[in-house]
Structure 1
Amino acid sequence: MAAEQPIPIYTNLTDLYANLGTSLNHAVRWNNLAEEFKRRFGRKPAYIARAPGRVNLIGEHIDYALFGVLPAAIERDILIACAPRPVPSSSTTVEPHHSPGSVIAENLHPKYTRQAFSPSQKSKDIGDDEVHVEGWHLDINTQELRWESYVKAGYFGVLNHYFAPMNASGGEADHPIPVDLLVTGSVPAGSGLSSSAAMVVASTLAFLAVNGKLDDQKGSFGAESRLSKGGLVKMAMENEKRVGVNSGGMDQAASVISNAGSALYITFFPALKALPIQLPPRSVFVCANSLVVADKVVGAKRGYNLRVVETLVGARVLAKVLGIDIGEKEKITLREVVGRLVGEKKGEEMDVGDLRRVLERMGKEVEALKPKGRAAGDNELGVTMDEMIDMSGLTPALFQEVYLSWVEVEATHFQLYKRAKHVYAEALRVLQFQESCLTTAESSNTSGGSSVLQNLGRLMNESQTSCAELFECSCPELNELTQLARQAGAFGSRLTGAGWGGCTVSLVAENEVDAFISRIRDTYAPYRGLEGEALSEVIFATRPSSGACVLKFD
């Protein structure tokens, strides 16, 4: 299983570059980062941690409902060079930059300023003059977007999984070491290509590596076990929540588990699994940045986090309508609803054919989520907070505890019907997309399979329509860019990532890529006049890349 494999640790660049792809000059970037680290900190790095961004080919906003998705890692990535900071023997820990676990973090991008921070340990008075140390703490501002917050988020997980509080082990504390970091990235921030998840994954890896936790692991203060790719995904998911995003896991899984040359079918129920999917021959995916910055943290209350709550509440209401038993405080997902509906055994996963049939059925069952008692002609399909609580069957206090106590949301109407309808239809499209790819691979079709590409393109177009009209996570610029892409010859085009801005992904025939990019440059107003590197920064073809790794220096 791909998720059970260890994190790759390379000691030479030849082996590492062979897994990254060929469209970018990786050697120059890695060497420049190492040299700049030496210039700034006076010594070469001990490690460089890498985590790629990802493009989601299809399956938007369904990972946190526990349905499978189909992303691919891209060659563009986040790199973090790191090394232990030597503390002079004459130094005392009263100097902040020499304190245990202190971090000096710099970024090659000039707009990001140098940051210095140190972890602390939370404690509370438990009486009789005793103090209990509960765990590590880092000050992360979830209200303001700051680059170092993602670095801190990765560090947080390493601290709390691998370093016991001072009084928890009964012996001398295992302190994290002081660290210097230098970050660079080629994944555009806010583009929908998952720069935030890549930053958190790379940060987690950097702190694991520099503290010696990749070679000799004792996570959560337990038995020794080397961290697997699946384990890193789960840790990175937990870590990203520290910046205020309730992530479903697709971004982290794609960044960590992907293999070069393949997309990745990732399922989350009943456990994380990843299956490489060979794409049809001569097919290329082109990413185009709408240049509308979309960060999940900034608009989370009305965007990403609101959608998480709407899908969870919709699942409860649907389970109630279908007569499915559900615990009073249980946050059942839309995937778990279909499993219980057909008697899926706990810990088992139904056959793909059975899942496809029940998803087709759910396209009709979701009609039960439409609000009742509305006047004729009322096109409002959402419900008020009071109506939603009443539909859930919970008391207001219990509803608040289960669905709102852990997240901030802001809305006058909650779109349970539209969100559930999108999720079930999108989950079905993922299975259909995967089936088309597998059929092509099994038939050894090397002709490019125009009919297959057309079918994949149709599914991508349907996904875009659903994202725009049912999940309402598109925007005018994304709608325009996908339409222009189809007119420019793409088989299909859709938003990728959380939406509300960021990138589109278009399926294009290999021999049409250059002409396609030229047509988009000439028709999408923000691109007009761009040439060379400036153009390649906003629109580029991508091949699937390998996942996260670490380069260890001698």
Structure 2
Amino acid sequence: MRVVEAFRETFGGEPAGVWHAPGRVNLIGEHTDYNDGLVLPFAVPWGVTAAVSPREDDVVRVRSLQAGEPLTVEKLDEAKGWARYVVGVFWALREAGHPVRGADLVVDGDVPQGAGLSSSAALEVAVGTALNELYGLALTKMEIALAAQRAENDFVGMPCGIMDQAASALAEEGKALFMDCRSLGVRNVPFDLARHGFQLLIINTGVHHELADGQYARRRQDCENAAKRLGVASLRDVTDLSGALSRLSGDERRRTQHVVTENHRVEAVIGLLRAGVVGEIGGLLNASHLSLRDQFEVSCPELDVAVEASLRGRARGARMTGGGFGGSAIALVADEHVRAVRDSVTGAYAERGWAAPEIYPATPASGARRLT
């Protein structure tokens, strides 16, 4: 295993173990997690693998096979760049009172770059899962996810919700993870695409717009402002949408409309999946994209073209997925139309002089686990 060989080369010994945590793609339920709402992600086959051994001091030595030379961090708050996602997990666990000391780590990731499949959450959860076992913390998978989220929120400084880390920690093979982000209740919902003759294609635009810098936090602030104006704890609590919209204007009105209707779409998708009619969720995926484009305003031309071209190629439904402003779209496609969708999307990009997007099928994979 490459990560074990690199650990031997870097630290001159054997790791205590190897752990893996996957990235995720969100089937539906976008920008609802930090509004105490509903989400339906699933784990993807790609993620982060970590070879780890504990230390008897508080030093963290970490090497990423994607980032180059190993780093030594003696004081956690001195960590820089990508290492903050690793060190932040140590910090979060220590802040919670857990007896976590240092470690030697080598991490290796194969999440497609720029796809918005949450490689950061995979890295955090892989490290958290390793430390949980190495230091005998007896944390549940949800507690590991919450520690990983705190690392990203309070140490890295990214105000993400809990969805990415929870999906990485708790997902099951062949299933989507339905999660109530307020209660933290979860239920795995069967999502066997092959059985029903479908594939879910990820269309990686490879695009990251600088426009996105700070935009995620602004969208979150819009939602919090709207909830405060409506006198509710979060937009999850809006039950009379038309009445709420009549009291709002501008960005706050648009953000509220998206969040409330997106929660309803998640529930509708779950009902259809439980009924075994996978193809019928396509219209809800389409509606989600339009809402993200027009009400939440987090799409971009590359995502819109990917969605529109997929539908021209006879996809049953398509939408952007993830935070937006780039990253990936997903398309639900019957097996017999996969080639047509691929050709339609690559042709639409070529017409505009854009680099061809990467397109690959994603099957629901297992969550975080020890490999050796």
Normalised to the residue count of structure 2, the TM-score between the two structures is 0.91
CA distance in 2, matches of 1:300, 1:548: 30
Q: 1:278 to 1:294 in 2, by over 3 A?
A: farther
Q: Do structure 1's residue 205 and structure 2's residue 129 form an aligned pair?
A: yes
Which secondary structure state, in structure 2, belongs to the residue aligned with residue 291 of structure 1? strand
Instruction: Using the TM superposition, give the Cα deviation of residue 139 of structure 1 relative to its aligned residue in structure 2, in angstroms.
Output: 2.8
- Residues matched between the structures, number: 365
CA distance in 1, matches of 2:64, 2:346: 30
Q: Do structure 1's residue 471 and structure 2's residue 372 form an aligned pair?
A: no
Describe the superposition over 1:463-516 as per-residue Cα deviations: whole angstroms up to 9, x where unpaired: 111101110111111111111111122111111111111011111113433453
Residues 191 and 294 in structure 1, CA contact (< 8 A), matched pair in contact too: no
CA distance in 2, matches of 1:438, 1:251: 23
> What is the aligned partner in structure 2 of residue 117 from structure 1?
73
CA distance in 1, matches of 2:152, 2:121: 7
Q: Do structure 1's residue 176 and structure 2's residue 101 form an aligned pair?
A: yes
Which secondary structure state, in structure 2, belongs to the residue aligned with residue 498 of structure 1? coil
1:161 maps to a residue whose letter is A
Q: Give the structure with the larger helix fraction.
A: 2
Q: Do structure 1's residue 549 and structure 2's residue 369 form an aligned pair?
A: yes
Q: Do structure 1's residue 35 and structure 2's residue 5 form an aligned pair?
A: yes
Which secondary structure state, in structure 2, belongs to the residue aligned with residue 524 of structure 1? helix
Residues 294 and 499 in structure 1, CA contact (< 8 A), matched pair in contact too: no
> What is the aligned partner in structure 1 of residue 38 from structure 2?
68
Q: Do structure 1's residue 508 and structure 2's residue 333 form an aligned pair?
A: yes
Q: 1:116 to 1:58 in 2, by over 3 A?
A: same
Describe the superposition over 1:416-452 as per-residue Cα deviations: whole angstroms up to 9, x where unpaired: 1110011011111111111111122xxxxxxxx5xx5
> Structure 1 residue aligned with 2:162, among 249, 268, 272?
249
Q: Do structure 1's residue 333 and structure 2's residue 246 form an aligned pair?
A: no
> What is the aligned partner in structure 1 of residue 83 from structure 2?
148
CA distance in 2, matches of 1:465, 1:250: 22
CA distance in 1, matches of 2:9, 2:347: 42
Q: Give the structure with the larger strand fraction.
A: 2
Q: Do structure 1's residue 365 and structure 2's residue 277 form an aligned pair?
A: no
1:431 maps to a residue whose letter is E
> Structure 2 residue aligned with 1:58, among 20, 28, 40?
28
Write out the 4+ residue segments of structure 1 that deviate beyond 6 Å after TM superposition. Answer: none
Which secondary structure state, in structure 2, belongs to the residue aligned with residue 290 of structure 1? strand
Residues 94 and 100 in structure 2, CA contact (< 8 A), matched pair in contact too: no
Describe the superposition over 1:192-247 as per-residue Cα deviations: whole angstroms up to 9, x where unpaired: 211111111122223334xx32xx32xxxxxxxx2111111211111111211112
Q: Do structure 1's residue 283 and structure 2's residue 239 form an aligned pair?
A: no
> What is the aligned partner in structure 2 of residue 95 from structure 1?
none
Q: Do structure 1's residue 46 and structure 2's residue 16 form an aligned pair?
A: yes
2:314 maps to a residue whose letter is G
Which secondary structure state, in structure 1, belongs to the residue aligned with residue 42 of structure 2? strand
Q: Do structure 1's residue 438 and structure 2's residue 353 form an aligned pair?
A: no
Describe the superposition over 1:495-553 as per-residue Cα deviations: whole angstroms up to 9, x where unpaired: 1111111011111113433453344334323454xxxxxx8xx221011001011234x
Unaligned 5+ segments in structure 1 are: 1-30, 88-99, 120-136, 164-173, 218-225, 320-325, 327-331, 339-357, 372-380, 382-414, 441-448, 529-534
CA distance in 1, matches of 2:336, 2:69: 43
CA distance in 2, matches of 1:45, 1:52: 20
CA-atom RMSD in angstroms: 2.2
Residues 225 and 252 in structure 2, CA contact (< 8 A), matched pair in contact too: yes
> Structure 2 residue aligned with 1:101, among 29, 37, 58?
58
State, as a whole percentage, how many aligned pairs show the same letter: 31
Residues 30 and 322 in structure 2, CA contact (< 8 A), matched pair in contact too: yes
Q: 1:486 to 1:282 in 2, by over 3 A?
A: same
> What is the aligned partner in structure 2 of residue 268 from structure 1?
181
> What is the aligned partner in structure 2 of residue 378 from structure 1?
none
Q: Which has the larger radius of gyration?
A: 1
> What is the aligned partner in structure 2 of residue 195 from structure 1?
119
Instruction: Using the TM superposition, give the Cα deviation of residue 299 of structure 1 relative to its aligned residue in structure 2, in angstroms.
Output: 4.2
